[in-house]
C-alpha cells in the first residue's frame, strides 16, 4: 500500500528523471548501455570473408556447399536491477539512509530504462531472494517496480551477494545488463566465484553505495556501534585506530581491483552527494572505452 509520503518520493523521482531525459543522459545511456546479442536470421552459402566460426557443419554435410549461419544484431535491451535491501543498508552517518539512496537510484534507473522502451526487471535480495519482478515494458510495469522499491520490507536480516548472483545466473534472459546496487559488504570469498560466472553471462555493473565513514573513519574517541545485521554492539576507541582509514580504503581498493581484473564496471555513489552527475560521468567513461 502506497502512503502519501511514498507518493511524494515517487513523484519527485519522476520529476528529476523527466529533467534528465531532456538533457544529454538519454543519448549517453543509449550509447553506454548497448544491446550486444545476436539473433539467428537464416542459413546461407558461405561467402569469402565470412566468419568461419559460423559455418553450419550439419547443413554443409547434407550438400556439396559450405553453409553458414547468418545473424542479425539484437538491439533490444533488458535491464535488471539487483537491489540489496538487507539491514546493513539501513545504516548511515548522515540523515539520509543508505536504503533511501538505493531506492532513489533504482527508481531513476528504472524510469530511464522505461522511457527508452527497454525491458526492465528487479531482484530484491537480503540473505534470501525477497522478490523477483520479471523484465517487461510499459509505464504500469515500471510503476510496479517503483512501488516495490519504496514499500518492500525484507524478511531476511543479513546479506548474501552469492545467493543473488546464483539466482541471476539461473535466469534464462539473454543480452541483459545487470545493475547490482549494494553496499557490497559481504564475505568476498563467498561470492567471487558466482560473480565471475555472472559476469560471463551478463554485462554486470556494480554500484557501491558508500558512507563517508567508509572512506575515512572519524576520530571521535569512544564510539558505540551496532551491527545492523546481527544486532551485536561494540565499543571502539577511534583515537587508537591508527590505521583505520587505511583499512577501509584498502577494502574498497581490493574490491575495485577484483572488478577490474574481470573487466567489470563499478560505480561508487556516496551518501549525501547528488548521484546524477556520477551516473552521467559513468556513462561518459563507458562511451569512451567503446570508441
Predicted confidence (pLDDT) per residue in 17-27, tens digit:
776 666 555 66
Q: Predicted confidence band at 185 (pLDDT cuts at 50, 70, 90)? A: confident
Mean pLDDT for 139-160 is 93
Let me know whether 169 and 58 are in one domain: no
> What pTM value is reported for the model?
0.78
Scored b (16 or more CB within 10 A) or e, 60-71 reads beeeeeebbbee
Mean pLDDT for 181-199 is 91
Q: Is 176 exposed, middle or buried (0-12, 13-18, 19+ CB in 10 A)?
A: buried
Contact (CB, 8 A) for 214 and 180: no
Let me know whether 204 and 253 are in one domain: yes
**Distance in angstroms (rounded) separating the CA atoms of residues 86 and 186:** 11
Mean pLDDT for 156-185 is 92
**Distance in angstroms (rounded) separating the CA atoms of residues 232 and 234:** 7
Let me know whether 65 and 199 are in one domain: no
Among 23, 51, 74, the domain-final residue is: 74
**Is pLDDT larger for residue 84 or for residue 279?**
84
Let me know whether 68 and 169 are in one domain: no
131 has pLDDT over 90: yes
CA 84 to chain centre: 10
- Vertex 129 angle, CA 176 and 135, to 5°: 30
Q: What pLDDT is attached to residue 28?
A: 63
**Distance in angstroms (rounded) separating the CA atoms of residues 91 and 98:** 6
Q: What pLDDT is attached to residue 186?
A: 87
Nearest to 191 by CA among 250, 252, 127: 127
**Distance in angstroms (rounded) separating the CA atoms of residues 104 and 109:** 9
Let me know whether 139 and 150 are in one domain: yes
CB-hemisphere CA count at 13 Å for 128?
A: 7
Let me know whether 27 and 44 are in one domain: no
Let me know whether 185 and 214 are in one domain: yes
Domain count, the chain: 2
Mean pLDDT lowest among 68-72, 110-114, 275-279:
68-72
Let me know whether 145 and 277 are in one domain: yes
Let me know whether 12 and 154 are in one domain: yes
CATH number for the domain harbouring residue 155:
3.40.50.410
277 has pLDDT over 60: yes
Let me know whether 119 and 242 are in one domain: yes
pLDDT in tens, 42-55: 888 877 667 777 78
Let me know whether 150 and 270 are in one domain: yes
**Distance in angstroms (rounded) separating the CA atoms of residues 178 and 122:** 9
Let me know whether 52 and 10 are in one domain: no
Q: What pLDDT is attached to residue 41?
A: 67
Among 74, 96, 123, the domain-final residue is: 74
Contact (CB, 8 A) for 208 and 68: no
Range of the domain at 48: 38-74
**Distance in angstroms (rounded) separating the CA atoms of residues 244 and 215:** 10
Amino acid at each position: 500500500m502506497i502512503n502519501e509520503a511514498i507518493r511524494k518520493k515517487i513523484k519527485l523521482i519522476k520529476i528529476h528523471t523527466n529533467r534528465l531525459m531532456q538533457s544529454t543522459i538519454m543519448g549517453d545511456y543509449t550509447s553506454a548501455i548497448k544491446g550486444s546479442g545476436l539473433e539467428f536470421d537464416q542459413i546461407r552459402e558461405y561467402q569469402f570473408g565470412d566468419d568461419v566460426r559460423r559455418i553450419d557443419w550439419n547443413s554443409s554435410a547434407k550438400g556439396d556447399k559450405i553453409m553458414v549461419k547468418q545473424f542479425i544484431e539484437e538491439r533490444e535491451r533488458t535491464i535488471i536491477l539487483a537491489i540489496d535491501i538487507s539491514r546493513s543498508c539501513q545504516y548511515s552517518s548522515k540523515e539520509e539512509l543508505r536504503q533511501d539512496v538505493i531506492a532513489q537510484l533504482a527508481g531513476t534507473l528504472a524510469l530511464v530504462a522505461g522511457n527508452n522502451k527497454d525491458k526492465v526487471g528487479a531482484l530484491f535480495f537480503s540473505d534470501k531472494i525477497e522478490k523477483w519482478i520479471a523484465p517487461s515494458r510499459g509505464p504500469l510495469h515500471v510503476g510496479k517496480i517503483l512501488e516495490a522499491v519504496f514499500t518492500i520490507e525484507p524478511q531476511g536480516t543479513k546479506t548474501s551477494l552469492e545467493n543473488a548472483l546464483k539466482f541471476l545466473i539461473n535466469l534464462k534472459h539473454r543480452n541483459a545488463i545487470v545493475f547490482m546496487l549494494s553496499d557490497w559488504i559481504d564475505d568476498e570469498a563467498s561470492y567471487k566465484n558466482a560473480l565471475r560466472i555472472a559476469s560471463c553471462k551478463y554485462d554486470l555493473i556494480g554500484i557501491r553505495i558508500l558512507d563517508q565513514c567508509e572512506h575515512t573513519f572519524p576520530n571521535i574517541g569512544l564510539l558505540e556501534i551496532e551491527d545492523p545485521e546481527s544486532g551485536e554492539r561494540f565499543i571502539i576507541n577511534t583515537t587508537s585506530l591508527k590505521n583505520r582509514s587505511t583499512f577501509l580504503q584498502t577494502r574498497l581498493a581490493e574490491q575495485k581491483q577484483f572488478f577490474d581484473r574481470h573487466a567489470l564496471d563499478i560505480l561508487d555513489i556516496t551518501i549525501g552527494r547528488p548521484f546524477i552527475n556520477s551516473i552521467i560521468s559513468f556513462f561518459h567513461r563507458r562511451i569512451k572505452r567503446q570508441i
